[in-house]
Structure 1
Amino acid sequence: MKVHSGAAWLPRAESPLHHVEVVKLTQPSQQPTVNIEELKGMSHLVLRGNAANADFVSGAEAVLGIGLPLVPGTSVQNEALRVYWQSPDEWLIIGEPEQAVSIETALREHLSGHFAVTDVSGGQTLVSLSGSNAENVLKKSTHYDVHIRHFPINKVVGTSFAKSQVQLRRTGEQAFELILRRSFADYLWMWLLDACQEYGVAFRR
Structure 2
Amino acid sequence: MDAVAKKLMPSASYMDKPVTDRPSQAEVEAAVRTLLRWTGDNPDREGLIDTPKRVAKAFREMYGGYDMCPAEELGRTFEEVAGYDDLVLVKDIKFHSHCEHHMVPIIGRAHVAYLPDGKVVGLSKIARVVDIFAHRLQTQEAMTAQVANVIQDVLNPRGVAVMVEAEHMCMAMRGIRKQGSTTLTSTFTGAFRDSPEEQVRFVTMVRCAAPTS
Q: TM-score, normalised by structure 2?
A: 0.27
More strand by share: 1
Task: Say which structure, 1 or 2, has more relative contact order (CA 8 Å, 6+ apart).
Answer: 1
- Of structures 1 and 2, the larger Rg is shown by 2
